[in-house]
């Protein structure tokens, strides 16, 4: 369901969006409830996503990709997020946090070793940034890596790491303090293959939502990897991640828009079919107005992320626009999930209905890839507002 115009998509973009939407309806949606109920990521669906080229969308053809751009990737994420946020975030994190840092900053040897399977969807990788004391303030990283001869020795812990413990996860890239630069920690990124002695993928979290998304805490106790596993320039790990985070906010905005639209579509269908006091629920003006506001949120969120993606793909600054898109779309997803649950009444509280899953899943959209408060801070700074004094 969209408005009458096509949001200025190209023919190729419309074809891609329609293809992924059909895949979501025919393959992903029928499995979504069971995957959520059992907390299981269906790897056969991940494999099919790889086969139709989704994991290769933003990568050039010379590395096995589809030669697309960020707009193409986000169109796919939106279409998947409409029916299953767990599958959508698996794709988003698999590319934005797994394959893309390797593509941009990896050595020729690293890319040759790891990239082909990631781009083809045959493998996944995680990015270990968040720690118990370092989330939005990632500069507070406590994980350390020191050189001992020709090896990095890593000690520390990470939490909330997506795609880190699946049967096809090949490695995680972790941020770690590798030294000191003028009294400030030098933060680098290092590839740690799964199975490395001293590297433990702890049991999966029991989460409120995104049940089928693979998420684990990680621990490192004298975990040793070769010195050449340094990803990119030493001391540039945090800076490189911040650049990826801006793009990730557009992708999360696309996912949130898809979730908001999924709630809208379900509400329209349910309101038309549900009879209350002898008439269709859809005939009641209160329900009509509520659903109209849901459509307004979807439309606004989509315009916001489309604009940010176009800026990014055009090589123009997009940091503020990404923050705006993420803020607007994540709030749209939460608001639409709440309103859809109200439209469904008691059925909206039952997990077999998609709106119930969206209600649980949507909250993390206001937290991951930078909290709502972080987005507000970024937007405020772009307006030239003074940073509050520290107390």
Tell me how far CA of residue 315 lies from CA of 60, 90, 176, 309, 312, in angstroms: 16, 26, 30, 10, 5
List the one residue out of 83, 85, 110 whose CA is nearest residue 98.
110
Phi/psi at 363 (5° precision): -60, -40
Kindly state the helix (H) or strand (E) to which residue 14 belongs, with its residue range.
Answer: helix 11-23
3-state secondary structure (DSSP) of residue 329: helix
Please confirm, yes or no, whether 369 is among the known catalytic residues: yes
Closest CA to 105 of 236, 193, 247: 236
DSSP state of 149: T
What is the sign of the dihedral through the CA atoms of 370, 371, 374 and 379?
Answer: positive
Angle at 340 between CA 350 and CA 285, to 5 degrees: 130
Q: What residue ranges in the chain does DSSP mark as E strands? A: 124-128, 144-148, 151-162, 169-181, 184-193, 199-201, 215-226, 230-231, 275-276, 279-280
In this structure, are residues 313 and 70 in contact, taking their beta carbons and an 8 Å threshold? yes
Single out the catalytic residue among 369, 373, 386, 387: 369
Q: Which residues of 286-307 are buried (b: 16+ CB within 10 A; e: fewer)?
A: ebeebbeebbebbbbbbebbbb
Cα(12)–Cα(159) distance, rounded to whole angstroms? 39
State the Cα–Cα distance between residues 189 and 174, nearest whole angstrom.
5
Up-side HSE of residue 129: CA atoms within 13 Å toward CB?
A: 22
Contact 75, 60 (CB under 8 A): no
Chain CA centroid to CA 13, Å: 20
Q: Are 208 and 337 in contact (CB under 8 A)?
A: no
Closest listed residue to residue 73, CA positions, set 43, 103, 44? 103
Q: Which residues form the catalytic set?
A: 369
């Amino acid at each position: 369901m969209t408005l009458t115009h096509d949001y200025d998509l190209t023919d190729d973009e419309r074809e891609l969006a329609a293809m992924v939407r059909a895949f979501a309806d025919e393959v992903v949606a029928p499995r979504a409830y069971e995957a959520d109920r059992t907390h299981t990521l269906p790897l056969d669906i991940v494999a099919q996503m790889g086969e139709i080229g989704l994991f290769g969308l933003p990568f050039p053809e010379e590395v096995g990709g589809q030669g697309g751009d960020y707009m193409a990737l986000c169109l796919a994420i939106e279409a998947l997020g409409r029916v299953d946020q767990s599958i959508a975030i698996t794709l988003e994190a698999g590319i934005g946090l797994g394959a893309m840092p390797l593509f941009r900053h990896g050595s020729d040897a690293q890319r040759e070793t790891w990239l082909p399977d990631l781009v083809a969807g045959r493998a996944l990788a995680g990015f270990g940034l968040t720690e118990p004391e370092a989330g939005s303030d990632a500069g507070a990283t406590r994980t350390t890596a020191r050189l001992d001869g020709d090896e990095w020795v890593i000690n520390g812990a990470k939490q909330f790491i997506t795609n880190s413990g699946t049967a096809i996860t090949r490695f995680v890239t972790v941020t770690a303090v590798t030294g000191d630069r003028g009294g400030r920690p030098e933060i680098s990124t290092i590839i740690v293959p799964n199975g490395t002695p001293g590297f433990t993928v702890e049991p999966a979290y029991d989460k409120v939502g995104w049940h089928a998304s693979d998420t684990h805490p990680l621990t490192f106790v004298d975990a040793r990897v070769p010195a050449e596993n340094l990803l990119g320039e030493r001391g540039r790990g945090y800076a490189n991640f911040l650049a990826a985070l801006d793009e990730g906010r557009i992708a999360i905005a696309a996912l949130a828009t898809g979730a908001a639209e999924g709630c809208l579509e379900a509400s329209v269908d349910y309101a038309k079919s549900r009879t209350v006091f002898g008439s269709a629920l859809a005939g009641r003006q209160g329900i009509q107005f509520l659903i109209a506001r849901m459509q307004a949120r979807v439309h606004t969120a989509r315009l916001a992320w489309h604009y940010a993606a176009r800026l990014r793909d055009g090589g123009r600054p997009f940091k503020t626009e990404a923050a705006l898109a993420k803020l607007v779309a994540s709030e749209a997803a939460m608001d639409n999930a709440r309103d859809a649950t109200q439209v469904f009444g008691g059925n909206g509280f039952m997990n077999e209905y998609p709106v119930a899953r969206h209600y649980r899943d949507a909250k993390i959209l206001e937290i991951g890839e930078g909290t709502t408060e972080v987005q507000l801070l970024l937007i405020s700074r772009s307006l030239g507002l003074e940073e509050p004094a520290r107390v």
